[in-house]
Structures are given as C-alpha cells and as structure tokens.
Chains A and B, each alone.
Chain A
Amino acid sequence: MEAQKNIILSVKGLKVHFPLTKGITKRQIGYVRAVEDVTFDVERGKTVGIVGESGCGKTTTGKAILRMVNATDGEIYLNGENLLKMTPHEHDKVKRKVQMIFQDPYGSLDPRQKASSIIREILVEDGKHHTSEELDRRTQQLLTMVGLSEEIGERYPHEMSGGQRQRVGIARALACNPDLIICDEPVSALDVSIQAQIINLLTKLQKELGLTYLFIAHDLAVVRHIADTVYVMYLGKFVEKMRSDEMFSSPLHPYTKALLSAIPVVDYHMEKMRKRIELSGEVPSPIHAPTGCPFHPRCPHATEICKEKMPEMEVAFGDHEVACHHYKELMPEQQ
C-alpha cells in the first residue's frame, strides 16, 4: 500500500517502566510506569506533536525512540525496521537517521567549541565529505540554512544569543541528514519572539528538505502552529489524538479541555467571561497509577465506570480519537 510506505516511524504498544529498588540488595519494590502502552505513527514530511504536563512521559517516549532508555515492551519501527530488536552494532548504522533538538540551547553545545566546528565534527563522521574544502562548504551551507552568518560560525556558544544557539543545535541535527528529528521542547527555554522565529525556521526547513518532526512540548499554542497531528498525553498514556486545528475548536477529552482552558486570554472582558475548568489535586504518581481511567480522580465528569474500566482509544469522528467513556455525552456541551 502506498500509505504504508510513507510511515517513517511507527511505535506500537511502547511501555517504559523504571524499576524501583530498595536497599543494598536492590530488591525490586515496584515500577514507575513512565510510558504505558503508547501507539502512534509518524508520516514522512509531517509533524506529530505530543503535549502533556511535566512528568507525563513525553520526553521518555522520545528517549525510548533514541534508545537512551530501555523500552520494557513494545515495538518501534524506523523505516520498517524494529529498532528495539537491533544489536548495538546494527543500531549504530541507523543511529544518525534519528536526531534530536534539545530543550536547553546552552547545555547542548560544547562551551569550548566554535559553532562551525560543532557542525563540522558531525560532518566528518559520515565519510561523504573528503576534502577540507568540501567540509567547510557544507558547514557553511548548513549555517546559512538555519539563518546564521559566517561570522557567527566563528563564535563560541557563550558569545551567541539563545536563539542563535538553538539554530546551531538545529544545524547540528541536520548535519546527520536525519529521517526523523525529535524536538524535545525546543523553544520552551526561549523568549516568545525568538520562539516564533525558531518555529518558523523549523517549518521552513520542513518545506525545503521534507523533514519529519516528532515535536514534544507543553505549550499548546506552539504545537498547534507546527504540528499536523497532536497527541495529548496523561500519565504515560495517550488520551486524545486529533488534527492540530481541531485541538482548539473541538477537544473531546475532559483533560484536553482543562488544558485549553488554562491558557490565559489577553482581552479583559473575554478573560472575565470565559469558563475555566479547574482541576483539583495533583497528577497521581506513576508508581501508584489509579485503576481504570488514569484521569478519573481529577475528572469533573467521572462516574463509576471510569474507576473500574480503562477506556480504549476509539474513533470519535474522522481522524479524531479519544480515550474516554463519556465523550459522547460531553460533546454537546462544547457547542
């Protein structure tokens, strides 16, 4: 099938549990269920966004795809090959196909290296550029691509602004010629005006180079802007999947609604008028996850069934999927 070919990353039933040990005998006393049964596909040239509050497992999902943490269960297919079944040696060969853009633009650059040398070092390793001139040219090309001048290439990280540093980080990811770029909160450490610049740069690069992004963030507005499909994550599970334009117009899951209602509105009268859904309590600990729906202890609409039965993701309409027992009853409230 034609559609099948375009799937670049396919994650099926991914689980990441961290064992909790106690004492010197390392006796296991439980698990932290960081990621619990996560399934999604990423199409070539598209952007998939994952949103959720801190500690919900967004970053761990990204790390599992990069094999920085060991997945407990599940399958991760990159271009049809199961990453989790690979030996370290086999994984080495496809490593460069998945790259990452980090949250902290300062910590992700070696303070003792000039911008151009950071990128050049990555280029040397792929063996495609043989002469020094070729390397210089390609380095320069990458810097220009992310909007940095030659002069900035000669600067050290501390001599650059946050936005410039993040651009170097993007250029470094591009230097590997990746199929998939995992953006782990790439703009949350930046100024709002710089955030827009970086997001626009990422969009521009995607158009020009046909890049594929997995965009992890907690800022809904940013995700709506860049993502095609958005997954909302809560306590290691996906609770809703939708097209990004539907996120603000027709959220179905009570958690998504609560997240959206937490965004402040600038207009004074609108702010006074709008209804806010205030969630009570804290996110439950992933060590003692609640039975049934993970959201039920905080959900304003929870009933008996939510405590007992874990809702599965089901198609509400079109591409919109939601994991909630009561989404149908709650739908009219939206209008």
Chain B
Amino acid sequence: MTKRSIKIQSFLKTFYGRGFIVYAATLVALVFIVFAIFAGVITPYDPNEINLAQSLALPDGSHIFGCDLHGRDVFTRILYGARISMLISVFSCVVGAVIGMVLGLIAGYLEGPVGTIIMRYVDLQLAIPPMLFTIIIGMLAGHNMFGLVFALSFGMLPGFIRLMYGLVLSLKHNDYIVALRFAKIPRWKIILKHLLPNAFPTMLVTFTMNLGSTIMLESTLSFLGIGIQQPTASWGSMVSDGYSYIFTRPFLAFVPGICILLLVLSFNILGDSLRDAIDPRLKGKL
C-alpha cells in the first residue's frame, strides 16, 4: 500500500514537474470537460433555437459572447460544441491510434509478406490527397457522428502505422529483445511487456498532436457538409460560420477559435507531462 502511494507520489511529482503551465492545462481541460457534461445546467438557452430578434446581437449581460446570425447564444453553443468537438477528436484519435498501433506492430514485428501488404496499403492511401480520402470515406460512412469518427480515424491511420512500424523495427533488434528471445520468452510477452511500453511515449506525443489537428479537420468537414450537420454546434463549424463577420462581429469566430487553441494546447501539455511521468529515466525529477 505504501509502495503504491510512493509510486503515485513520484508520478505526480514528475507530471507536475514543469510547474504552473501543467496546472493551468489541467484546469483548462477540466473546465471544458465540466462544460461539456453540464452544458444543459450551466446555460438557460437552447443551442439551436432560432431567435431572429437577437440576430448578431453584441455581448451584454444576458449573452456574454453575443449571438450569431440566427440569434443563438454563442456561449451556449460553445458549451454544447465542447461536447461534440471533444468527443469526436478524442474518439477518432483513440480509434486511429489503436488500429494504427496494432497494424504497425504486426507489420514491423512479422515483416515478411504480411508486413509488405500493410505497408504497401499505407503507401497507397498516402498517394491519395488526405482531404479527398477523408471526404470520400465520410460520404460513404454516412452523415452522423460515427461516420465522421470513422472517416477521421481512417484518415490518420497511415501516420500511426508508419510511426509504429518504424519504432518496432528499431526496437526489436535491440539486444534486450534478442536476449529475451534466447531465453525463450513467449512472443506475446515480449510484445506486451517490452515493445509496446518502449514505443508508447513516442506514440503518445503523436496522439496528442493529432487531437488538435482533428478538431480543425472536423470543422473543415462540417464546413463542406460532411459529418456534423447544421444546426448542431461544433467549434469548427462555429469558426467557419463566424468568420464571414470577422470585422463586424469578431467574437463569433474568435471565441470558438480561442477555445480550440486552449484545448489543443492543454492536451499537448498534458500529453508531454504524461510521457515524462511514465519514463523511469525522469523518475521524480524535472
């Protein structure tokens, strides 16, 4: 019990080793998560109800970020949009990363014909412009959240596969893996206990970087009419709607834009800290 609490303590010490910025990132992420969960409690308005009397209203006491073209409260839509944006980006990154890791692992560990097939497929997908590819998959998968998640995660597969493939190729020729093979340690144990943990930190950083770009990509797809449909609020679509009024009503684009910025930034910082905290070489340091 004490051993565990010491472990947790040293984990937290490294996690928050960078100081203030990590606390801020935790706070931002927590606030957005609370927003997403309790959106209905926090705000009295309906995110989709059109009220043309309030069209493009300036910020005041009742609408702190003003209203959009259809008179919908921007703050309310930010709260509900947090739900969609976070769900979609986290979901599709998790799906893409897990499938990509598994395929990259198989290709890198087995090499041979199986590996060649997987890697040639990756080349094939990379030969198609990624945006075009995601649009096609999105259209085929249907105009709902799952279709969008599917299209987004499919689109980011090659990156994860390639990264994992390279990592596994370089790791598996390390002397310590070779030594385990001499000692007749079963393959699955080598993979689970040695290959994956050593590949994980690099994958984690890529994962958090992908989170940010996925939010942006989702907004592009929404703008093009694939995936999230009007009037459902997502931060990406709010930016693209609002940017027509960038000079007269700058808050329409800036507020969701800043939200994206903050969320992506805090995800990246938390990802980096997590990577440091699970690295035994940095145990209790920084």
Say whether B179 contacts A100, CB under 8 Å: yes
Q: Is A158 an interface residue (CB 8 A)?
A: yes
Q: For residue A112, which residues in chain B have a CB less than 8 angstroms away from its CB? A: 194, 197-198, 280
Question: Interface residues of B: mostly helix, strand, loop or mixed?
Answer: helix
Using known A-B contacts A107-B176, A108-B176, A156-B280, determine if residue A96 contacts B183 with beta carbons closer than 8 Å.
yes
Besides A99-B182, A121-B185, A125-B185, 11 new A-B residue pairs in contact (Cβ under 8 A), listed by A number: A98-B182, A100-B178, A102-B175, A104-B175, A107-B174, A108-B174, A108-B176, A112-B197, A112-B198, A113-B194, A125-B186
Q: Which residue of A lies closest to B194 (CB)?
A: A110
Chain A interface (Cβ < 8 Å from any Cβ of B): 66, 68, 92, 95-96, 98-100, 102, 104, 107-113, 118, 121-122, 125, 156, 158, 169, 172, 175-176
> Which residues of B from 190 to 225 have beta carbons under 8 Å from A?
193-194, 197-198
Interface readout for B158-183 with A: 1 if CB under 8 Å, 0 if not? 00000000000000001110111011
Q: Which residue of B lies closest to A100 (CB)?
A: B182
Q: For residue B281, which residues in chain A have a CB less than 8 angstroms away from its CB? A: 111, 156, 158
A104 to B185, CA, bound (A): 21
Q: For residue B198, which residues in chain A have a CB less than 8 angstroms away from its CB? A: 110-112
Q: Is B4 an interface residue (CB 8 A)?
A: no
- Cross-chain pairs A/B with CB under 8 angstroms, 6 sampled: A112-B280, A118-B176, A125-B184, A156-B281, A169-B179, A172-B179
Q: For residue A108, which residues in chain B have a CB less than 8 angstroms away from its CB? A: 174-176, 179
Q: Which residue of A lies closest to B175 (CB)?
A: A108
Q: Which residue of B lies closest to A122 (CB)?
A: B183
Q: Within the complex, what minimum Cβ distance (angstroms) separates A154 from chain B?
A: 11
Chain B interface (Cβ < 8 Å from any Cβ of A): 174-176, 178-180, 182-186, 193-194, 197-198, 280-281, 283
A66 to B182, CA, bound (A): 8
Q: Within the complex, what minimum Cβ distance (angstroms) separates B183 from chain A?
A: 5
A107 to B182, CA, bound (A): 16
Q: For residue B197, which residues in chain A have a CB less than 8 angstroms away from its CB? A: 112
A104 to B176, CA, bound (A): 10
A92 to B187, CA, bound (A): 12
Q: Within the complex, what minimum Cβ distance (angstroms) separates A87 from chain B?
A: 15
A109 to B185, CA, bound (A): 15
Q: For residue B283, which residues in chain A have a CB less than 8 angstroms away from its CB? A: 156
Say whether A125 contacts B194, CB under 8 Å: no
A100 to B183, CA, bound (A): 10
A291 to B212, CA, bound (A): 64
Say whether A95 contacts B184, CB under 8 Å: yes
Q: For residue A156, which residues in chain B have a CB less than 8 angstroms away from its CB? A: 280-281, 283
Q: For residue B175, which residues in chain A have a CB less than 8 angstroms away from its CB? A: 102, 104, 107-108
